[in-house]
């Protein structure tokens, strides 16, 4: 496991987050044009060829989707299983993730070490990760080694052995990783936000606790695997330098014998809509910045307002021309980065505006951020600004099609969320059809800051009084426990 520390190259923007389908920053206030040369904007877009998808469903219910991409001698795989951390039993958050983590730590035919060495010898990588609604086992290898990569995938998913010693080591390291996460203000902010927005819903379950890590044991993990890791409704996407028929043959040979009783779909009910604003301070003594997250319960992926909400997100916080980036950074100099985040799940979702500012400007930065969010409800978005957001979203979609791992994600999502078969073909047109009025409809649900959660991770001694002006402040420590009101 590698931790990326911040000795990285310095950049002008926070990040180019293409995998997540977005940049980090949005539309400036109309600058008065000077006498300048016009930018060359002639020419027509060239048609983007959508990939040909070869779909096969095996007898055990596993859907295999293959796309050929012969530009590089590489193959990408993504196996998406239709359950996630919302399946964790009450009181045992972390069960789904630890089960996924342990797939690579030993099977009935290979030790952890043998799996690691085998992967290395095919130039491969294979990692399992649990999200709220799904577990994804994804990886890649040099395409000449596809059969060996598939064999490893099958071994990990079908016959993991969860050796006692590996379970014990993973538990110890999970505790350490939890401590590392709690040292990160951005992590603390997302955790508090999820707990607040999703409340009693299993969608609030985002990380293990010290108590749940202690309670996790081999038998619960093995039982969870037996019950949940079944082929029915699972999706395996293959993108790369492969022959589709040969790939399907290989997959049938290795994964065709995968069996298991199909389960009823996980029912993660949507949490109740919020009725009031909440101000939550996670006290991080000595913090030199305040990490601010403001947002609310959003929509599920299949919601008819999905594309309008995506454009709302684009106007305010996707990309450097977005309002948050332009105002909070380029105008005010409060921050390095300001953006918004739009997450859609099977049965729910959330939306939030995010920035990190020096402690002294916490109050004016939060006021400005709230003003920008509320503006989306108060004013209809202008045509030019909406067109710009559509262009960025369309552009990013095109760039995702070019990136094998991102394309694999799109192909899995289309089936996972039960989207129309022509979703990729109609995606750009759906973006194009969004009207300013629809964006405002979406804003009425997402941008009511009087029903938002306002989360600030910062130095409580310095920012608490400032936060009182936004509402009654609830204070938490890094472990997520409420702190006494007096300090």
Partner 1 sequence: MNRKSPIAFAALLAAAPVTLALPAATGSAVPSVPLTTFTLDNGLKVVLSEDHAFPVIAYSIDYAVGSRAEPRGRSGFAHLFEHMMFQGTPNVGKGEYFKYVESNGGIFNGSTHEDYTNYYAEFPAHRLELAIWLEADRMRSLAINAENLRNQQEAVKEEKRQFIDNQAYADAFANQLTDLAFKNYANQHSTIGSFDDLNAASVKDVQDFFTTYYAPNNATLVLVGDFDPDEARRLVTREFGSIPRQPAPTAVDSTEPPSSGEVRRVVRDAQAPTPGVLVAWRGPARGSTDYYALAVLEGILFDGSSSRLYQDLVKGREVAVAIQGDMGLPGGDYVEYRSPGLFGLFVTYKPSIDARGIVGAVRSEIDRIAKEGVPADELARAKVQFRSQVVRGLASTLDRATRLGIYAAVDGDASRMTADIPRFLGVSSADIRKAAAQFLVESNRVVIEVQPAPAGGEKEGK
- For the bound state, the minimum distance from the C-beta of residue 177 to partner 1, rounded and expressed in Å, comes to 7
Toward partner 1, which CB reaches closer, 120 or 245? 120
- For the bound state, the minimum distance from the C-beta of residue 425 to partner 1, rounded and expressed in Å, comes to 16
Toward partner 1, which CB reaches closer, 205 or 287? 287
- For the bound state, the minimum distance from the C-beta of residue 5 to partner 1, rounded and expressed in Å, comes to 5
Toward partner 1, which CB reaches closer, 112 or 159? 112
- For the bound state, the minimum distance from the C-beta of residue 226 to partner 1, rounded and expressed in Å, comes to 25
Burial class (CB in 10 A: 0-12, 13-18, 19+), 82: buried
Toward partner 1, which CB reaches closer, 202 or 319? 319
Toward partner 1, which CB reaches closer, 285 or 304? 285
- Distance in angstroms (rounded) separating the CA atoms of residues 61 and 74: 27
- Distance in angstroms (rounded) separating the CA atoms of residues 205 and 84: 10
Toward partner 1, which CB reaches closer, 373 or 386? 386
Toward partner 1, which CB reaches closer, 71 or 487? 71
Contacts of 63 (CB under 8 A, 6+ apart): 55, 56, 57, 234, 235, 236, 415
Q: What are phi and psi of 272, to 5 degrees?
A: -65, 150
- For the bound state, the minimum distance from the C-beta of residue 256 to partner 1, rounded and expressed in Å, comes to 27
CB atoms within 10 A of CB 243: 15
Please give the C-alpha separations between residue 134 and each of 100, 203, 360, 419, 420, in angstroms, as whole numbers. 11, 12, 40, 16, 19
Instruction: Write out the DSSP string of 416-440.
Output: HTT--TTHHHHHHHHHHT--HHHHH
| Residue 108 backbone zone (phi > 0: left; psi -120 to 50: alpha; other: beta) | alpha
- For the bound state, the minimum distance from the C-beta of residue 105 to partner 1, rounded and expressed in Å, comes to 9
- Distance in angstroms (rounded) separating the CA atoms of residues 461 and 470: 17
**DSSP secondary-structure letter at 86?**
G
- For the bound state, the minimum distance from the C-beta of residue 45 to partner 1, rounded and expressed in Å, comes to 5
């Amino acid at each position: 496991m590698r931790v990326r520390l911040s000795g990285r190259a310095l950049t002008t923007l926070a990040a180019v987050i293409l995998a997540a389908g977005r940049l980090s920053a949005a539309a400036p206030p109309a600058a008065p044009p000077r006498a300048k040369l016009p930018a060359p904007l002639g020419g027509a877009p060239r048609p983007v060829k959508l990939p040909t998808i070869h779909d096969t469903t095996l007898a055990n219910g596993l859907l295999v989707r293959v796309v050929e991409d012969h530009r590089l001698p590489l193959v990408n795989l993504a196996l998406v299983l239709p359950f996630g951390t919302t399946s964790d039993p009450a009181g045992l958050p972390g069960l789904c993730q630890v089960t996924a983590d342990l797939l690579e730590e030993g099977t009935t035919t290979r030790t952890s070490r043998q799996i690691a060495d085998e992967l290395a010898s095919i130039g491969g990588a294979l990692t399992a990760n649990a999200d709220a609604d799904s577990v994804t086992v994804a990886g890649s290898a040099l395409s000449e080694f596809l059969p060996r990569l598939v064999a490893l995938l099958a071994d990990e998913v079908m016959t993991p052995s969860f050796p006692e010693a590996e379970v014990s080591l993973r538990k110890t390291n999970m505790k350490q990783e939890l401590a590392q996460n709690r040292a990160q203000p951005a992590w603390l902010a997302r955790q508090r936000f999820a707990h607040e927005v999703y409340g009693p819903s299993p969608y609030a379950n985002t990380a293990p606790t010290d108590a749940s890590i202690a309670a996790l044991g081999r038998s619960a993990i093995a039982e969870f695997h037996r019950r949940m890791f079944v082929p029915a409704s699972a999706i395996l996407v293959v993108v790369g330098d492969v022959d589709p028929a040969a790939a399907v043959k290989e997959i049938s040979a290795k994964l065709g014998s995968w069996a298991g009783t199909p389960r009823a779909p996980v029912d993660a009910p949507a949490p109740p809509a919020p009725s009031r604003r909440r101000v939550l301070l996670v006290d991080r003594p000595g913090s030199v910045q305040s990490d601010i997250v403001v947002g609310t319960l959003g929509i599920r992926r299949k919601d008819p307002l999905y594309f309008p909400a995506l454009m709302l997100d684009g106007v305010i916080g996707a990309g450097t021309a977005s309002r948050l980036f332009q105002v909070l950074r380029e105008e005010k100099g409060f921050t390095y980065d300001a953006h918004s985040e739009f997450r859609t799940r099977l049965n729910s979702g959330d939306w939030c505006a995010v920035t990190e500012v020096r402690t002294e400007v916490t109050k004016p930065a939060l006021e400005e951020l709230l003003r920008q969010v509320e503006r989306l409800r108060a004013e209809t978005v202008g045509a030019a600004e909406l067109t710009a957001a559509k262009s960025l979203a369309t552009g990013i979609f095109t760039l995702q099609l070019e990136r094998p791992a991102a394309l694999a994600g799109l192909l899995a999502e289309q089936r996972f969320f039960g989207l129309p078969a022509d979703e990729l073909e109609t995606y750009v047109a759906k973006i194009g059809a969004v009207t300013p009025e629809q964006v405002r409809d979406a804003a009425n649900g997402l941008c009511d800051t009087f029903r938002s959660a306002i989360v600030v991770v910062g130095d409580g001694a310095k920012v608490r009084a400032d936060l009182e002006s936004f509402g009654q402040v609830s204070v938490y420590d890094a472990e997520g426990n409420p702190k006494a009101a007096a300090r």
